[in-house]
Amino acid sequence: MRLNKYISHSGYTSRRKADELIFQGTVKVNNNVEKNPGFRVDVGKDKVTVSGKEIKLEEKTVYVMLNKPVEVITSVDDQFDRKTAVDMVDVKERIYPVGRLDYDSKGLIILTNDGDLTYKLTHPKHEVFKKYFVKVNKLLNSKEIQLLSNGVEIDGYKTNKSKIEVIGKNKGNTDMYVSINEGRNRQIRKMFETVGADVITLKRIAVGKLVLGNLKEGNWRYLTKKEIDYLKSL
């Protein structure tokens, strides 16, 4: 198996990032630096390390959907010993969350050991839209919705255009579906702060055409072959 493919299939990172690590000289095969991404690895015999850490090929590639509750972080581990998304999924393979879903948010999170798919779903250039149900504590007008849809300045950069569909207004709040193709830290919350609104509820309900559906909060399931094929086709 090609060295860059071996690294990505281990779940360590995407194949493109694996190429960078190889060119940088951080990858060794049997304790020898190897800078050729096409180097053939003898699976089960050769020892591959990245920055001194041995990586091994996963027995099989796993794809999982989790309906993450609030107060759960999307990390493999946490220095404050908080519950992680990985803790909530009972599989023997080592899997990783795809992208972010912050501590105070809930909903659909994909976990996998497929590094190439992770890269595809998280890089803005692939324009994979994630859809959220959002409730804010303000009655937003059409001008504010248009402003947010066209992109706003947060943290020194302008967000990409988003899709916003208002579905209800009541008791001083606005309910919406918001779709974005980025995943910057607390992006949706910061977007609405620019128009003086605080997010009350933030729930991811879809990644592309992959939908959360009736999966209960805190539960998980394996993706179907049809869902996996769809994600790989993006």
Torsion from C-alpha of 200, 202, 203, 204, nearest 10 degrees: 170
The first and second tokens of residue 73, run together, are 């972080």
**Residues with catalytic roles:** 102
pLDDT value for 50: 94
Q: What is the pLDDT of residue 159?
A: 94
Residue entry with tokens 């060794």:
28
Q: What is the CATH number of domain 63-124+210-233?
A: 3.30.70.580
By DSSP bridging, strand 210-211 and strand 199-207 are: antiparallel
The pLDDT value recorded for residue 124 is 67
State the Cα torsion 10-15-21-23 to the nearest 10°: 130
pTM for the model: 0.76
Mean pLDDT by 10 residues, the chain (234 residues): 86 86 95 94 88 82 96 81 90 85 96 87 80 98 97 94 96 97 91 98 96 97 96 90
CATH number of 129-207: 3.30.70.1560
Q: What is the pLDDT of residue 59?
A: 64
Q: What are the residues facing 63 on neighbouring strands? A: 112
Which fold does the domain 3-55 belong to in CATH? 3.10.290
Residue appearing with tokens 């193709």: 181
- Answer yes or no: same fold for 3-55 and 63-124+210-233: no
SS3 (DSSP) at 63: strand
Domain residue spans of the chain: 3-55, 63-124+210-233, 129-207
**Phi then psi dihedrals of residue 210, to 5 deg:** -80, 120
Q: What pLDDT, on a 0 to 100 scale, did the predictor assign at position 222?
A: 97
What is the spatial distance between Cα 149 and Cα 137, in angstroms, rounded to a whole number?
A: 18
Q: What is the pLDDT of residue 145?
A: 98
